[in-house]
Amino acid sequence: MNALPTPTLVIIPAYNEAENLAPTVAELRAACPDAAVIVVNDGSRDGTAAAARALDVVVLTHPVNLGAGGSAQTGFRYALTHGFAAAVQHDADGQHDPRFIAPLAAALAAGEADVIIASRYARPGGFRASVARRLGSWLFSTLTSVLAGQRFTDVTSGQRAYNVRAMRLLAGNFPTQFPDAEAILAMKKAGLRLRELAVTMRPRRAGKSKTTPGRALWYPATALVAVFVEALRRRYPAP
């Protein structure tokens, strides 16, 4: 059980995660009882909406699927409206260990950065993925690192902590097609400070991952175009 240093909102984007949602929230509650939790039901077509409503959490529903970027943006707007000092994005599939939420929030509270990214690849043994997925992640992270001027090892991580400055920026300007790397570049250009925190992640609890071997290679190659476009865009005003 970990106490959080500041009022923290945990945002759980959920798209067709009916099987995983209840155990994910239960584990999160046990690890971080002080955290407020919202589930963003992102146009799910299974029983995710009903599963979310059965839990003691705020449920925000998109009528159509907007993707991880749109779900995070909805969560940031809620956090800013309700006065939270920090928000942590935490995927619904069970791969993230909620015990790392407190260290992420503590790093924000200590002023170490404006955004803390939980990295499964920052240390050996953090996550055992397929060869295709590791190759795709390495390629995407390397390209992003070069363009951002800062080394990143896990730009597709779904567990990230944001302070108010970062939320203000992304609540109005969150990339939609390939949000992971594009958001990092946008935040860097706005003068925000980012760092990674080494964590341990697990395979998803149930259901199929959206990242197939083919997608693990296709996604970084396709996203490269979007990343370069973002890199060439004007700087964002400081939040």
Q: Examine residue 166 and state whether it is found in any structural domain, yes or no.
A: yes
DSSP for 143-168 reads HHHHHHTS--S-TT-SEEEEEHHHHH
User: Does 237 fall in a domain?
Assistant: no
Q: How many Å apart are CA 170 and CA 185, to the nearest integer?
A: 12
What total number of domains does the chain contain?
1
Calpha distance 7→78 (Å, rounded): 13
Residue 239 lies in a domain: no
Residue 181: domain span: 8-232
pLDDT higher than threshold 90 for residue 137: no
Q: Classify residue 226: in a domain, yes or no.
A: yes
Instruction: Look up residue 11 and give its amino acid.
Output: I
* Residue 67 counted as domain residue: yes
What is the pTM (predicted TM-score) of this model? 0.86
Residue 218 inside a domain? The answer is yes
Instruction: Find the CATH number of the domain harbouring 45.
Output: 3.90.550.10
Look at residue 3 and tell me if it is in a domain: no
Query: What are the tens digits of pLDDT across the range 150-201?
Result: 999 998 899 999 999 999 999 987 766 556 788 898 899 899 999 999 999 8
Label residue 52 by pLDDT band (50, 70, 90).
very high
